[in-house]
Structure 1
Amino acid sequence: MELEVRHLRALCAIADAGSVRKAALQLGMTQPSLTTQLRRIEAAIGGLLFTRGQTGSRPTPLGHAVLSRARPIVAEMAALVAAARDAAAGIGGARLRLGSVGGRVVTEWLRRIHRRLPETDVTIHIEVSSTTLLQLLATQQLDVAFVHETEGFPLHVPPGIQRRVLATGEPRFVAVAAAHPAARQHVVSLTDLAADSWIVDPTADHEWAAMRRAFTAAGLNPRLVHVRDNATAADLVASGEAVRPCQPTAEPTAGTVIRPLHGDPLTAELSLAIRPGALSACEHDALFTDLEDAYIALARGNPTYRAWLEGQGHPLLMPGPTGPVPLTTRAAASFREDTAQRSAAGG
């Protein structure tokens, strides 16, 4: 028998009530049922937890030891359930539940939100998978989410979820060891890295498929290494064991450099996904502006990305407000509600 939270809750109820009978009433059980459950718990633990007498039930030394561990677990579970219910009901004060893929923009985004909404309880949920974030939106576990969609591989967007486009055609750069021959180049081609192993995160939406497509188009078939841990991936790159794609706003880790890929074979669309009814239109606008400002600041402050933007003559480097950031010449609607047909196509 494996102990569960309900078993720990029963032990705490017996100790607090002082008798199995009173605890059974509190738990909505019959006394025989709770007595049987207690015997099974004691059998699983291997000792008596309570002494029974005419004055009731009292914890034994073993019972006290078990209860000292059980009470924090029961309390934490009760708090978790209460918080989840409050979040689902939208009560408990001003709250903002954000979701995002990982990246440096997250910290900058949060800093702006905290400065603008100092009294709001802001939480952030980080996921590698944009699909997972969209599902959390659809099930009302998040209010908004910053998501990436790999070009050519549409996300499956739940009905009703809207996306406001931040950037189209954002390039993926590549991280290589500082000692790698390609590190001496300002721009690296896939052919330059044909003999290298490429790190891919198997939990990232369509990353493997997009890389395979790019390699096939270049007539290449490099080795792929599945790595989910960023620290391990960074060490593998620094040691020269592998290379890996990265966001253009990323900073190189120790022993590595980041370079653009010739022809930008890997690109993504960035957008803020919104659950209708979660926030007012004004708050949606403000959150998008916070995200946009954070992204622009990072792009302009990153030497490698800035050089790429300068080479493109990109308006992102122009002073003053820029509005949504179209990184390619393709038009990007500021708002769109994905239709069921588009969702089916991405499923």
Structure 2
Amino acid sequence: MDLEVRHLRAICAIADHGSISKAAVALKTSQPSLAAQLRRIESMFGGPLFERGRSGASPTPLGSWVLARSRSLLPAFDELRRDGRRYAGRGAVRVGCMSSHLAVSVIRSLRDLLPEAEVSMRTEEAMDVLPGLLGAQRLELATLGDYPGHPLNPPPGVTYAVVAAEPIFVGVAASHPLAACQEIDLADLADEDWSLPALIESGHREHFAEACAKAGFTPRIACEATLSVAIDLIAASRCAGMFQATSRGYPGVAIRPLAGTPLQFRHILGWTEGGPVEVHGGELVFRVRQAYWADTGRSPVYTAWLRRHGPLPQPPISRSYRNLTGY
């Protein structure tokens, strides 16, 4: 009989629960079966590992020695099994998503590429926490974004790839005089109050302030609100706000492009190196990018803008992610 990982787990369970009967319940086996297994394990080690009495089972000196080494070995076996399942595409893929329409395409593509993986998703109003979660391997994949002059740099052990670059549009009340314009000059919004997200990612505020400075004004941030509150304020002519080009619109809000495209944004995917996504990284980016461009047709304002201007400079369309970074 050879020593197996399950034997080490049995020893730890008996020590943790203080009795064979309680350990048997935890291990989902019978008390006689676990007792017989313990006798075989003790035979391999050449002596008793536990003293059995009315108060339960307590480790002998030999048992304490075996127990200490078992506890040090089991995490390594667990990690080996977990990483093996990751490489085989059968492990858990935890996805963190910033607020964007990209999330649905990412989840759909993941399920196609890793059909046996357990995929779970969490969303964040601001994406700044996501790179840290990737770096700490608390996520395997995340949707991210950055802005011109404020590129996002991956933490150690994480790969970033650009999906698409797009313009940022502006939203005003449908009754606003500028709502009749095909495109709005940013300078014409100098006297407006502005709404920004309550939790705004690094680079967004700076990029906005820089664009406004080039247009000759300093923006007046009147409120910091969630999207639902901001939409109500914009529709009520209380402020202006910024929207992703792929936005499909909201009642009472006119979403318009900015002349000259002073505000831009990049959609980025990030994944852990050595995780379950890495081997499929290039294909995932390729699929999500195709889905992104197919989805632009649902945004009439963006579709019209693309007909007039064409897309912003994009990374090459390739199934290799190595060349998909950089502004």
TM-score, normalised with respect to structure 2: 0.66
Q: Whose radius of gyration is greater, 1 or 2? A: 2
Counterpart in 1 of 2:313?
328
Is residue 194 from structure 1 mapped to residue 190 from structure 2 by the alignment?
yes
Measured in 2, the distance between the counterparts of 1:216 and 1:253 equals 29
Question: Which amino acid in 1 is paired with 2:204?
Answer: E
Counterpart in 1 of 2:178?
182
Question: Which amino acid in 1 is paired with 2:282?
Answer: D
Which range moves more in the overlay, 100-109 or 216-225? 100-109
Q: Paired residue for 1:234, among 231, 235, 246?
A: 231
Counterpart in 2 of 1:205?
202
Per the alignment, in what secondary structure is the counterpart of residue 227 of structure 1? strand
| 1:161–1:337 Cα contact (<8 Å) kept | no
Per the alignment, in what secondary structure is the counterpart of residue 272 of structure 1? strand
Per the alignment, in what secondary structure is the counterpart of residue 130 of structure 1? coil
User: Do the aligned partners of residues 337 and 205 (structure 1) sit closer, same or farther apart at CA in structure 2, a change above 3 Å counting?
Assistant: farther
Counterpart in 2 of 1:263?
260
Deviation of 1:110 after TM superposition, in Å, equals 2.4
Is residue 248 from structure 1 mapped to residue 245 from structure 2 by the alignment?
yes
Measured in 1, the distance between the counterparts of 2:254 and 2:277 equals 42
Question: Which amino acid in 2 is paired with 1:265?
Answer: P
Give CA deviations for 1:33-74 in whole Å, capped at 9, x if unaligned.
xxxxxxxxxxxxxxxxxxxxxxxxxxxxxxxxxxxxxxxxxx
Measured in 2, the distance between the counterparts of 1:128 and 1:284 equals 25
Deviation of 1:100 after TM superposition, in Å, equals 1.9
| 2:285–2:321 Cα contact (<8 Å) kept | no
Measured in 2, the distance between the counterparts of 1:284 and 1:233 equals 35
Counterpart in 2 of 1:302?
299
Measured in 1, the distance between the counterparts of 2:164 and 2:276 equals 22
Measured in 2, the distance between the counterparts of 1:306 and 1:135 equals 35
Give CA deviations for 1:94-122 in whole Å, capped at 9, x if unaligned.
32211221112222432344455554321
- Report the RMSD for the aligned CA atoms in angstroms: 3.2
Counterpart in 1 of 2:139?
142
The count of residues paired between Structure 1 and Structure 2 equals 245
| 1:163–1:337 Cα contact (<8 Å) kept | no
Quote the sequence identity (%). Answer: 30
Measured in 1, the distance between the counterparts of 2:277 and 2:268 equals 18
Measured in 2, the distance between the counterparts of 1:183 and 1:296 equals 26
Question: Which amino acid in 1 is paired with 2:126?
Answer: S
Give CA deviations for 1:192-247 in whole Å, capped at 9, x if unaligned.
21221111124322222111111111111231134241111111111110111111
Counterpart in 2 of 1:99?
96
Per the alignment, in what secondary structure is the counterpart of residue 276 of structure 2? coil
TM alignment of 1:115-134, pairs within 5 A: 117-134=114-131
Measured in 2, the distance between the counterparts of 1:178 and 1:280 equals 43
Which range moves more in the overlay, 92-101 or 255-264? 92-101
Structure 1, unpaired ranges of 5+: 1-84, 315-326, 343-347
